[in-house]
């Protein structure tokens, strides 16, 4: 028994340095293995051939914007990357550029889905014949032919959209007791106002005392009776009174043409 114990004591044991060296090598191999796995996984996830963003879901209460328009806008990007590589801000800017889009939210959903939620503009008027206004008077890029035919037409210099919209609203309220509406409001470059009513009468209000002149028209209108159907325009750019332009009847027009 003593002899066996003596032999065991004589058997050489690994030194602490060797033990640490073996442990370090093992740890290094584990780190390399994990790094290799992470690199392989990341390469796989960023490979556009493996995980392309290939599906689009469009949500929102939409009447003007179509899913096809959204898909076309996204397809127009230089590259549509993968779930990992594609910048959501780029997707959002592409959709925001579409007509009628007021707000847009874009999210990516694993592994290949783009979710797009859109809030459309609400059009209240046609602006300068080629754009639209929302209820706050903001000009937005929309097609006038997409709004109802009876939409009001507002015209004015750049930066005047909110003012023109306000004048249309206040003037409509004044004319309501007459049963009349406004089809056009014009603010020209000289800052003079013109209203066109639904029965075709053009009101020249000028630059100053616009409200007083509109009130004068309301008083005059009630006294014209059936004659209003023959009026072409009413010029109210006077301190008092107004000048009335009449629609020529057929007989008068024929006499002038002879």
Note whether 184 and 154 are within 8 A (CB).
yes
In this prediction the pTM is 0.73
39 φψ region: left (φ > 0), alpha (ψ -120 to 50), beta (else): alpha
**Which of 16-30, 55-69, 96-110, 159-173 shows the highest mean pLDDT?**
159-173
Q: Give the model's pLDDT for residue 209.
A: 92
Which of the four pLDDT bands, split at 50, 70 and 90, describes residue 179? very high
Q: pLDDT value at position 62?
A: 94
- Residue holding tokens 């409001």? 185
* Dihedral sign, Cα of residue 107, residue 111, residue 113, residue 114: positive
Classify domain 55-120 by CATH number: 3.10.20.310
What would the 3-class secondary structure string for 27-91 be?
HHHHHHHHHHHHHHHHHHHCCCCCCECCEEEEECCCCCCCHHHHHHHHHCCCCCCECCCCCHHHH
CB 82 within 8 A of CB 36: no
Q: How large a percentage of the chain has pLDDT more than 70? A: 74
Cβ(240)–Cβ(232) under 8 Å?
Answer: no
Which tens digit of pLDDT belongs to each residue from 132-150?
A: 999 999 999 888 999 988 8
| Structure confidence by residue, pLDDT tens digits, 56-72 | 899 999 999 999 999 99
Please give the mean pLDDT across all residues of the chain: 83
Interval 9-21 mean pLDDT: 58
Q: Are the C-beta atoms of residues 227 and 240 closer than 8 Å to each other?
A: no
Q: Which two tokens stand for residue 99?
A: 């007509």
Q: Is 181 exposed, middle or buried (0-12, 13-18, 19+ CB in 10 A)?
A: middle
CATH 3.40.50.11690 describes domain 125-257: yes
Instruction: Tell me whether the CATH fold assigned to 55-120 matches the one assigned to 125-257.
Output: no
- Sketch the domain layout of the chain as residue ranges: 55-120, 125-257
Determine the pLDDT at residue 255.
32
First to last CA, the chain: 149
Q: What is the pLDDT of residue 103?
A: 95
pLDDT above 90 covers what percent of the chain? 56
Instruction: Give the model confidence (pLDDT) of 222-250 as tens digits.
Output: 888 888 899 999 999 998 889 999 998 75
Partner residues linked to 235 by β-bridges: 204, 243
At residue 11 the predicted structure's pLDDT band, cuts being 50, 70 and 90, is low
Give pLDDT tens digits for 35-54. 665 655 555 455 555 567 67
pLDDT (average), residues 160-177: 97
Q: Is 148 exposed, middle or buried (0-12, 13-18, 19+ CB in 10 A)?
A: exposed
């Amino acid at each position: 028994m003593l002899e066996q114990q003596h032999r065991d004591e004589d058997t050489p044991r690994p030194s602490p340095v060797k033990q640490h060296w073996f442990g370090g090598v093992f740890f290094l191999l584990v780190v390399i293995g994990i790094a290799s796995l992470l690199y392989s996984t990341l390469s796989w996830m960023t490979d556009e051939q493996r995980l392309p963003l290939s599906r689009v879901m469009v949500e929102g209460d939409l009447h003007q914007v179509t899913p096809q328009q959204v898909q076309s806008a996204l397809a127009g990007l230089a590259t549509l990357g993968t779930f990992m590589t594609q910048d959501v801000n780029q997707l959002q800017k592409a959709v925001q550029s579409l007509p009628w889009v007021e707000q847009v939210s874009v999210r990516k959903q694993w592994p290949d889905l783009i979710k797009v939620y859109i809030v459309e503009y609400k059009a209240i008027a046609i602006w300068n014949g080629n754009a639209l206004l929302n209820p706050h008077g903001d000009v937005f890029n929309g097609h006038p032919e997409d709004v109802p035919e009876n939409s009001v037409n507002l015209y004015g210099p750049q930066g005047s959209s909110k003012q023109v919209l306000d004048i249309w609203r206040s003037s409509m309220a004044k004319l309501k007791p007459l049963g009349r509406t406004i089809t056009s409001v014009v603010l020209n470059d000289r800052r003079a106002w013109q209203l066109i009513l639904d029965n075709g009468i053009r009101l020249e209000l000028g630059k100053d005392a616009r409200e007083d002149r509109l009130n004068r028209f309301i008083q005059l209108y009630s006294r014209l009776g059936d004659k209003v159907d023959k009026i072409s325009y009413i010029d109210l750019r006077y301190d008092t009174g107004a000048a009335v332009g009449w629609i020529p009847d057929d007989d008068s027009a024929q006499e002038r043409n002879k």
